Amino acid sequence: MPFTAVFCIFRNVGLGETINLAAGALQKDQNGADIPDKKQFARTIGAVTSNTITLGESGWFKIATVVMPQATSTAVIKLYGGAGFNAGSSEQGAISELVLRAGNGSPAGITATLWRRSPAAANEVAWVNTSGDTYDIYINIGQYAYWLIAQYDYTGNANVTLHSTPEYSSVQPGNSTSGQTYTIYSSLMKPTAGDVGALPITGGRLNGPLGIGTDNALGGNSIVLGDNDTGFKQNGDGVLDVYSNYTHVLRIIGNLVESMVSLKVNGNAVATGEVQAGNGASRMAGNGDIFGNVWNGWLSTHLNNNLVADIQLGAGTSVATWNNAGSWPNTPGYVVTSVWKDNQGENIDGITYAPLQKRLGIQWYTVQGGTA
């Protein structure tokens, strides 16, 4: 049987390299579980790194440890879900956003800012510098914050390690530095009047002057209306002043109202007490009596003492004058009241005279004068 010579030529087709590459390949049935650096992979493809954390009690929790080089680096942590899990309680679908920003190294440290979107979100944030550029991050949150979703990201020079079962403290760690909390207002989180520096419709305290429709030029505890120097001003304990074009026109103090300018009344002026003038020197009483220096006291007394209220003739005296010499009446204040005469002779037979009297008050006086 003849022999046939066979020549074989072998060529290296890179099978060994292929085997090596296959050994480092990802297995699709692992669903990414065999990725060596999952965080970096997620950041490379633009995905968000997330984890699940549970915060049971009400208090402070160390949710993360971050490495943040100075000058500078940034890290963010976002929590979905809040304190409580009651059906229909929409505020428990909370969002808490934590932004960490490194300083410039002088001084070294970080800025921690918490942004709240719901009453059930995290309440406060604090941090502790454990060494170098490493910081423990704490948040304060209410009770029953179970199974929250935490997403985080950081710049290439930083790192975030999220703690799925955070350490708990009922009080803020004593060596921690408090961050700043801001509320993002919405239809769920409506600001109160105090939150935005306004007065509530139920009333409140206003510090400083108030201008309605204009600036306030009166200053102090005052209110101006339409005109910057026309309004009301409190000028002391129990003292309320009224100004018009910066002119002090009226003062209310205790149980007294003072007018600093002429007062014109178009209509009736009604006083339930006395009307006074001359700083009380002249007074009009409710009964119509008037007190003044011109009549040395009350007008009623002056009139009673000086006004002739009535006149009368006193008791008369008859004198027979026929064939008698004399002068009648011979007493001052007396007047002749009658004369009589018969038809004999030329002379009168007699006269009657009586005192003319006046009444001042209740006292009768005989008038003075006449022939003595």
Comparing C-alpha atoms, which of 364, 359, 362, 240 is closest to residue 309? Answer: 359
d(CA 108, CA 127): 13
Do residues 68 and 128 share a domain? Answer: yes
Q: Specify if 196 maps to a domain.
A: no
Q: Is 81 helix (H, G, I), strand (E, B) or coil?
A: coil
pLDDT for 246: 94
**Residue ending a domain, choose from 183, 204, 223:** 183
Token readout for 291 is: 């007190």
Q: Of all residues in the chain, what percent are helix, strand and coil, respectively (each to 5)?
A: 10, 40, 50
Would you say residue 301 lies in a domain? no
Q: What is the CA radius of gyration of the chain?
A: 55
Backbone angles phi, psi at 371, to 5 degrees: -90, 125
| pLDDT tens across the length of the chain (372 residues) | 555 555 555 455 566 666 666 666 777 777 767 788 766 676 666 566 788 888 889 999 999 999 999 999 999 999 999 999 999 999 999 999 999 999 999 999 999 999 999 999 999 999 999 999 999 999 999 999 999 999 999 999 999 999 989 999 999 999 999 999 999 999 998 888 888 888 888 888 888 899 999 999 999 999 999 999 999 999 999 999 999 999 999 999 988 888 999 988 899 988 888 888 888 889 988 888 999 988 888 988 888 887 888 898 888 888 888 888 777 887 888 888 889 888 887 788 888 988 888 888 888 988 887 665
The per-residue pLDDT for 97 is 97
Token readout for 357 is 């009297």
- DSSP character at residue 7: -
Going by C-alpha positions, the residue among 139, 28, 40, 120 that lies closest to residue 81 is: 120
Q: 60 and 175 in one domain?
A: yes
Tokens of 128: 């502790």
Bridge partners, 55 (sequence order): 145
Count structural domains, the chain.
3
Q: What pLDDT score does 368 carry?
A: 85
Q: Does residue 73 contact residue 141 with C-beta atoms inside 8 Å?
A: no
Residue 312, helix vs strand vs coil: strand
Examine residue 74 and state whether it is found in any structural domain, yes or no. yes
Instruction: State whether 94 and 179 are in the same domain.
Output: yes
Which is it for the CA torsion 203, 205, 209, 215, positive or negative? negative
Residue 281 corresponds to which tokens in the numbers above?
């020197």
Tell the residue number behind the tokens 């018969």, with chain if given: 342
- Provide the domain limits for residue 144: 38-183
- Going from the C-alpha of 93 to that of each of 37, 51, 82, 119, the distances in angstroms are 31, 17, 6, 10
CA distance 150 to 96: 9
The Cα 135–Cα 104 span in angstroms is 16
User: Of 259, 276, 294, which closes a domain?
Assistant: 259
Give CA–CA dist 80/151, Å, rounded.
8
pLDDT of residue 85: 92
Residues 169 and 226 in one domain: no
Residues 142 and 254 in one domain: no
Domain annotation covers residue 205: no
Measured CA to CA, the distance from residue 140 to residue 162 in angstroms comes to: 16
CB atoms within 10 A of CB 298: 15
Which two tokens mark 165?
Answer: 């079962």
pTM of the model: 0.55
